[in-house]
Amino acid sequence: MFVRVLRQPTRWCFHRHLSDKPITDGMATFKRDIENPLPLMSTSVNTVAMPTVLESFIEKVLPAFPGGVQCAYAYGSGAFQQHGTIDISKNMVDFIFVVDDPIEWHTNNIEKNKSHYSFLKLLGPRAINHIQKQYGAGIYFNTLVPLAGRVIKYGVISTDRLINDLLDWESLYVSGRLHKPVLTLKEPSNADLKVAMQINLQSAVHAALIQLPDMFSEEELYVCIAGLSYLGDFRMTVGEDRHKVANIVKPNISKFQALYKNILDSEEHLFFNDTKLVYEQYPNHISQYHHLNLLPKTVHINLVALAKQSHAIPDTEEVIRNLANNPHCGDYVADSIAQIVKRSSWSQSLKTAFTAGFCKSIKYSFKKMQKMIKSFKK
């Protein structure tokens, strides 16, 4: 039996009294969603319209790098309007490059863009690939890179590693960024990657709904979803804008709607009240079991670990069934997600200090601190 271990309730986590109805087996639902996820849109699930200010610049990005990019995305304050920011043209643009063969890609990129790399380039592409795979969140960043009159940061991740993170939330580092709208430079051609991206969005909805109250606004839903990958991130208290999540969501509601509309419309435990213009759900042990059962593997592993701390039965199915009856279910899920993010944010930040080099790391950290200090004045 679970006992509550968290001191503070998760925001928006309020629940109705649980009914006495028996829990229905959700494994069939889980199998259905994995084998037959919601139909993919004709383009990438995260595709949004390109801001006019970026069009000419974006066209110059991929030609500046070697071929072999499976898909590529731009994200962050340099790609999207954020609340309180008027001119995004002065912000650094962040990119994710997904490649099938990281060794070959780094080999070609070192030849083409040697100055992008820190001293680690002296170790060669195989060593860089080893650092990319074995440390942090499986992604290798080059930062503060000048390109076509702008400054960019780009991360390189293998297709296989990204698929694992999308399905299992191993680190929530790249999969968490893909919970939010991104600009697509190149559509993925890998069928498994396309399906994994859709399942990642579905998982985000289940993780958010289990933390939300009976009634909530559309903005609150998207703030919860966008905030999943920041739970437990030490950078949110040191070196980040404290309004970061809300600033991402407020000016981009329509983009979140395009991203999640099909998933929300098909969710059987959710109802949109057209009169009050809010979402309604009825959190009980049946709906909680439904959402819990469809969470990614790493969240389940962490939930089992929490159960062991309270001397409960360390079996995943039993833990989920017991937790579905717990009124603080959302707290446990938030804590389990925070553990994932805490590990990856620390390890990836330490890794980036080496991949970027000392001088760039200091400069990048200083810019982050400036943003945080500025946010306290708002």
- Show the domains of the chain with their CATH numbers: 52-190 (3.30.460)
80 against 237, higher pLDDT = 80
Asked whether residue 336 carries a pLDDT value surpassing 90, the answer given is yes
Q: If pLDDT is split at 50, 70 and 90, which confidence band does 195 have?
A: very high
**Contact criterion met (CB below 8 Å) for 160 and 153:** no
Q: If pLDDT is split at 50, 70 and 90, which confidence band does 286 have?
A: very high
pLDDT of residue 274: 94
What does the alpha-carbon distance between residue 273 and residue 309 come to, in Å, rounded to a whole number? 40
What digits encode the pLDDT tens for the residues 289-299? 999 999 999 99
**Worst-scoring range by mean pLDDT, 53-57, 248-252, 314-318?**
53-57
- Contact residues for 263 (Cβ-Cβ < 8 A; gap 6+): 38, 201, 202, 205
13 against 162, higher pLDDT = 162
Mean pLDDT of 325-347: 92
pLDDT of residue 311: 63
* Entry pTM: 0.82
Query: Measuring CA to CA, how many Å separate 370 from each of 234, 364, 365, 367?
Result: 16, 10, 9, 5
